[in-house]
Every structure is written in structure tokens, then in C-alpha cells.
Amino acid sequence: MTAVEIRKSWFGLARPLVLSLAVAQFMSMVTTPAAAEPKGDVVIAMPQLSQLFDPTAMIGATPHMVYDYIFDGLINLGPEGKYPALAESWTISPDGKQIDFKLRQGVKFQNGDPFSAEDVKFTFDRVMAPDSTHAYRRGFLDSMERVEVVDPFTVRFVLKEPWPAFFTTARYALTPIVPKKYFEQVGAKGFQDKPIGTGPFTLVGVKSGEWTKFQANENYWGGAPHIKTVTQRGVSEPFTRYAMLERGEADIVSGLTGPLLERIRGNPGIRVVSSRYSGTSGILFNKELFPEAADRRVRLAIAYAIDRKEIAEKIQGGVCQPATSMFTPGTFGYLAGLPQIPYDPAKAKALLAEAGIKPGHKVTFTIQTESFAAVPNVPQVLEAVAGNLEAVGFVVERKSVDNAAWLSMMRGGKPTGIFYSPISIPDDGGEVLNSYFVSWSGWTAKSINVSEYDEAFKEQIKEPDLEKRKMILQHFAKLESENLEDIPLLWCDTPFAASTKRIKAWQPSLGSGYHMNMKQVELAK
């Protein structure tokens, strides 16, 4: 099977929005260096920073906002979707249980060490190690038997079952590759303090919680970036970020919604660019703390109680839209035509009464104090949901937590009675299913235990035919639309605002608010 044939089978059909790039076209793009040396500085004001630099200890999707600068994966993500990076091509065995990746030669890490197959094996061995804390370790263990070095520029994945999801989901395909020799020299702490990758930028400065600075890697294998440095600044207040943009203190800002977004769109000196369908979200239940949620009538009542249209328009300013499922139109396995649950508080009250829940029933609900890229303005969104619940008779006890506390709560299997379920980069339905719907999910302890969902996950993960795999996921989506174990909330884009005085050309990556594609930013003269 040729590389192009593989892209058409396991790669080119990754999701409806991905444009399948021919390998030859991609090669002509990445092997042409920038015409001039990098110049100029770009400042990005963003609502939150990630300063976790070891990708073998990844805690979720958020750290990709720094990984995208420092590292490459076997596959990278750009404005038109996924494309070959450290892997130039690959072949898949007839039974689908072996993938041989042909690696790019001549690539060097930022300290000058050469890249080879040993680094790929080392990275994936660390991810799958018994003491690994990697957020997606389980997915690798379920599918991968081992990684073998065939020769210095060929690495072999020996699989337990065919694994098309490796190519269709960001959490696997985009795994950043770390240098074996350097990592073993400095250890995990040393690597966190001074990470080294093959990526387009190097880390040159950090002030905890305030800013992170990157400098162009002029020896980058894909051609040096146009810009010399990029500084990410954490600025929690949205209008402060906008003021920085107007004053020239920032060149790009993220976390745009509501009135601020409308104000920006009316400013001729600012251009808005978006990464489409970068997040999805829903509302889930801890049935130990809220056992009444085992009754579908209660879940349906809560679905009727939430005014998604109002939230999308008034709080999100058009960045988001009401969802019909946790799969977005950009998710592999998306099923069009599922019904939209309307806002109908009268029906919600009637269903609650029918289920025996009287006005004044107490529930606990998590209000996150920070936003993930999946849904902007999370605190306001969740406060609106809490208000909707109160409007149909619940007494809502709010539990306010920052993102770190939320992650700890979820991983510890101790969510509140009702809680929020976000997914960033929801590009593959099998991984959405794995995140929240299977009985062994670490995120949804005490929440969902539907045998058909477990069976659907196991069936789709070993199905090598993409069309058949898509049908399995669509069947799950239809079943879940009837069950409502996870009430769909919003599908969201990630908008960015860029100064037209400073930024000449730029398009963020497709389907991710974290992969900003800064290596292709061009400054205005």
C-alpha cells in the first residue's frame, strides 16, 4: 500500500472538514525554507497559559498550545488538517496490525542532536510505561503491543488490533516526539525546565503564570518561521486583552466572545480568524450523588431546561451554536439530522413532577472559574446553566473550581451531582466515546454504564474499514441521542483577533484552538 493510498484509507478520510493533501504537494511546501531570516516579535494575549513542557506526561489537550511550538509529531496539524511531519510516509500490513513509518532524514533537535527512530520508540515507550501519567495512556495500551526500531529511519508499530483512530484523532497522531539521549541526560524535571524538540520554535523564557517566550528555530526542517519571537501572555480579563490589542501591546488575542467579539468585528484595524469546531460540550451526572438522574425523564427535563440558544447568542456572541450531540459536524462519525432539544421549561417541570422530583430538590453543580479552549466564557455559561436549573425548581449548590482542581476532581472520580463535560479537538468519534461514554472512563466515574456503548467502542477501534467504522459511531450517536446520558450543550469555534497593522497573513490550524500555526505568521511591513 502506498503512502497516498494509506492517506485515502486510514488518513485522508479523517473527518469531513479535512482536505486530503497529496504527500508530494506537502513536500514541496515544507522543504522550501523561508526566504529571509526570522524578524520581528509577536505577542499573544490569552486567557490562560499552559507551562507544562513534557509531552510524555501530557494531562490533556491544553498543553498543545506550547507543544505546537517546540515539537513535531509523526503527523502535524495545519490549517487544512493533518499532514506528514517527522514521518514522511507509512505502510500498513494487510491485516492492519503493523504500521511501518518511514522517518524524515536530516532532522535535528534544537540542541543539534540528530533525530532517529530511537527517539520515536523512546517517546511512545514512556507514554505507555507502567508509571506513566499520560492522559491518553489507556488508548495506547489498548491498541499498541510495542514499538520497534527497524533501522535508524524506520519505526514499526506492532498493534493488538487495527488502529485507524491513530490517524483520525489528534491525541494519538500528533504525539510530540522527544529526544531520547537528552531526556535521559536531564531527567523528567530537567526536561520540564528546558524542553528540546524538533519544532519551529525553542523555549527561551518563562515567568510562572504570566508569560512564556519562544524563539524561531532557524534550522527547522520545514523552513524557519517568518517571525523571530513569540510571547504568550496570560491575561484573564477579556477587555484588558482587547485594550492591549488596540494599544499595540498585543498582536493577537484569544478567548473572544459576546459583546467583545462584536466590538472587535466592528474595528477595521482588527481581523478575526477562527478554528472551526474546535470544541464540544455537554452536561453529565454523578448518579451516586444525584441518583434521580438514572431516570431518563430527569435527564430529558434538564435538557429542556437549558436555553442553549440564549447562551450561544448572548454569552458566546456567535462563537458557539446549540449542539445535537457530543459529535460535531467536524467529528469523524458525525450523524446529521439528530433532533435539537428545544428550550421548554414547562415541559421540564412536567417531566420532573412525573419523575417524583419536587421543587426545592437540591443538586450540586460545578462552576469552573476558568475556560478551556473547548468552550469560551465557561464561568458565565455554567452560571447560566445553573440559573436554568433553578428556574425549573432545583436548588443548586455551586462548587467553584479552577481548571487544576477540576482536573483533579474528575481524575479522582469525584465529580459533583451535575457537571460539565468539555472536549477540545473532538476530531474522532471513537475518542469522544472513550472520553465520556465507556464504563471504564476515568472522567465519568459513577455516571455512565451502558453495555452497548462499551461494545460500540470495542467494535469501532478494531474496524479497519473507515466507512464501517463510521457507521458504528453513527449508530452510537443515534442511540445516545435517545438515551441522553450526556446532554449536548454547545459546539464552538475558537476565534482569534489579529492586528492588521502587524499581522499580514495567518490562519490557525483546523479544529484546534491550541495549534495556532505560528510558524506561518507573516508580519505586515
Helix, strand counts (H, E) of the chain: 18, 19
Cell digits of residue 25: 504537494
Instruction: Tell me the pLDDT tens digit for each residue of 385-418.
Output: 999 999 999 999 999 998 888 888 887 888 999 9
Cell digits of residue 491: 459546539
Beta pairing class for 87-92 and 98-103: antiparallel
Cell digits of residue 3: 503512502
The answer on pLDDT for 460 being more than 50 is yes
Phi/psi for 35 (5° steps) reads: -70, -30
The dihedral region occupied by 220, where left means phi > 0, alpha psi between -120 and 50, and beta the remainder, is beta
Q: Cα–Cα distance between 107 and 465 in angstroms, integer?
A: 33
Would you say 256 and 273 are in contact if contact means Cβ atoms under 8 Å apart? no
Instruction: Tell me the pLDDT tens digit for each residue of 85-98.
Output: 999 999 999 888 99
What does the mean pLDDT of the chain come to?
Answer: 89
pLDDT at 194: 97
Instruction: Tell me the pLDDT tens digit for each residue of 258-273.
Output: 777 878 888 889 999 8
DSSP string, 202-253: EEEEEETTTEEEEEE-TT-TT---SSSEEEEEE---HHHHHHHHHHTS-SEE
pLDDT at 208: 95
The CA R_g of the chain, rounded to the nearest whole Å, is: 23
Cell digits of residue 217: 528555530
Q: Cα–Cα distance between 73 and 115 in angstroms, integer?
A: 12
294 or 33, which is more confident: 294
Mean pLDDT, residues 5-19: 36
pLDDT at 257: 73
Would you say 75 and 85 are in contact if contact means Cβ atoms under 8 Å apart? yes
Tell me how far CA of residue 450 lies from CA of 284, 365, 406, in angstroms: 14, 23, 25
Q: Cα–Cα distance between 52 and 58 in angstroms, integer?
A: 8
Domain boundaries, the chain: 3-30+51-196+502-523, 278-492
pLDDT at 209: 93
pLDDT at 56: 96
The answer on pLDDT for 51 being more than 80 is yes
Mean pLDDT, residues 133-155: 93
Q: How confident is the model at residue 447 (pLDDT cuts 50, 70, 90)?
A: confident
Maximal C-alpha separation, the chain: 71
- DSSP class of residue 176? P
Q: Is the torsion defined by CA of 126, 129, 134, 137 positive or negative?
A: positive
% of the chain residues with pLDDT over 70: 92
Tell me how far CA of residue 356 lies from CA of 7, 295, 352, in angstroms: 54, 10, 6
Least confident of 130-144, 164-178, 411-425, 432-446: 432-446
Q: Cα–Cα distance between 214 and 417 in angstroms, integer?
A: 42
Q: Cα–Cα distance between 45 and 238 in angstroms, integer?
A: 9
Q: How confident is the model at residue 235 (pLDDT cuts 50, 70, 90)?
A: very high
Amino acid at 254: S
Mean pLDDT, residues 342-348: 98
Residue with cell 438522574: 293
The dihedral region occupied by 10, where left means phi > 0, alpha psi between -120 and 50, and beta the remainder, is alpha
The helix (run of H) or strand (run of E) holding residue 406 is helix 403-411
Q: What is the CATH number of domain 278-492?
A: 3.10.105.10
The dihedral region occupied by 469, where left means phi > 0, alpha psi between -120 and 50, and beta the remainder, is alpha
The answer on pLDDT for 136 being more than 90 is no
CA angle 76, 376, 449 (to 5 degrees): 80
Instruction: Tell me the pLDDT tens digit for each residue of 298-342.
Output: 999 999 999 999 999 988 888 899 999 999 998 999 999 999 999
| Residue of 523, 466, 507 lying closest to 5 (CA atoms) | 466
Asked, colleague to colleague, whether 3-30+51-196+502-523 and 278-492 share their fold, the answer is no
- DSSP class of residue 315? I
Q: Cα–Cα distance between 193 and 186 in angstroms, integer?
A: 9
Q: How confident is the model at residue 23 (pLDDT cuts 50, 70, 90)?
A: very low
For domain 3-30+51-196+502-523, which architecture applies? Alpha-Beta Complex (3.90)
**Rounded (to 5) percent helix, strand, coil in the chain:** 35, 25, 40
Instruction: Tell me the pLDDT tens digit for each residue of 486-521.
Output: 999 999 998 899 999 999 999 998 888 889 999 999
Q: How confident is the model at residue 223 (pLDDT cuts 50, 70, 90)?
A: very high
CA angle 167, 23, 149 (to 5 degrees): 60
Residue with cell 483546523: 510
Would you say 38 and 226 are in contact if contact means Cβ atoms under 8 Å apart? yes
Amino acid at 47: P
Q: Which residues, including other chains, have CB under 8 Å from residue 127's CB and lie 6 or more apart?
A: 56, 134, 136, 137, 140, 175
